[in-house]
Structure 1
């Protein structure tokens, strides 16, 4: 008791000595003090006694408090955080396990941002906690927060690949969901050049790799080509269900996009495929060869662009060979 009183003199902002015990694991709660305490009062930071016990990783006090029937186990602080949110934010796996064993604890309750404890665990990069939560039978992995993001969306956007893999194992996840920017998670990962994530997504059976985005009607393959990422282009074309000549809203195929971007290596790779039609035109009836010729006519002041487009002549030769099949040595270019 004396230690508690001295501690409170040092930290007068606490409303009760019980808060001191809840925060500091070195201290214990004397029964007389505990019985007289207002167990639901909140300290200056807006936390309840329960939150303080969780934040201080003081399991014995938390257990004592929750054994009292008048204590609400789903209490929230000023930010709407439950005890589970606080445990996750502190990385307190043991306390989280103990809380999840209590049937009255709701693991899907949201805070003021609309985040569940699973959202919070993903955001904090707590792999072991995410794994534990996904084993909880009544957890909802598809719950959206106020921004419309699921835990999977957060994991993908923050490049937490180990967590993405965990979430991908849950068959209830909608991988074809279109987000506010008009893209699916596969579009997002491709556009960001995230090779590992794209590889993980393409291994799943419940994803549509040919899905178009909302604004330009680009497939993920269009975006891989536009980004000049040959490795990701190759990943896509390993799948038998990929349409390599699918058009966007402007009639551009991936080959048109490769030519427009001046990505010679991708153009050459695409032209090696039998299912690519180099004569296919866009909405204004321009084919790949026409676009290459137009690029050759453009004068660039940037020396790096001059060097890049100096190689376009080689691609013109390749396209001409495909347009006019070789029938003997006379026609060799």
Structure 2
């Protein structure tokens, strides 16, 4: 797990919306499902990168699963053009989502929706989306979140000098926040082994350890001899830097205690609060002033979307897009 200045979770919202449409889902007709099997024909070229009719057919199936309405062919093409712009930018910035990360995220998505990887693959194939298309979608979401994070750090972060100047204008008063020293305990579940039974067993094991937990110094001795359990010291993190999915629990967790267990892309895990103290310095001021207006998940998502829209607009203006 990475704790960053601004955690980007737009992909989780998009993926959740996608799976919501599977309830009471009616399978696509055979004609629609086999449309992607036809010979690929290039429909759009984005900065020398092709988008084919097969890609568009896969995305149309995806949109149908989300119960989207309107001209789905146009919506699919527009989405794929935007994604290709993002992929080209990710490549130029050296942003790479590894195969292992992607497979883990895919398996984690299946697990969170009470499916095995095989069942998710079956769903993807039956609906005409295909696992490959969905994995590419996930990969772009993950990589683009990193691009937005880098953009925020380069453009959205107030300089230390500006933060000092603002403090001087406000009478020299420095904002304060809590600083957490954290430890992460992961009950690892490989991507290929995320059945409901395995996940349930790992949750039980994690909860048993969590109930015995009494402080970070003893974690490694408690986990000694346990299979596939990883303990990581995450160091110090300001409250504004905590990931949204853990923030509420961490704030409510006493020093020397652990959060509730959560399923994650790595398996089953919990975080422990090793220490907590109030801090007030130039670094806190810089982060606090920069993050004004993003005090909760909704605000952070809104800011992330604003950055993303501006970023994509700039890429589109510079791109060479040819419709065929």
Q: Same-fold call, TM > 0.5? A: no
Structure with higher RCO (Cα < 8 A, 6+ apart): 2
Q: Point out the structure with the larger strand share.
A: 2
Indicate the TM-score class for this superposition, using the shorter chain for normalisation.
under 0.3
Q: Point out the structure with the larger helix share.
A: 2
So what's the TM-score if we normalise by structure 1? Answer: 0.20
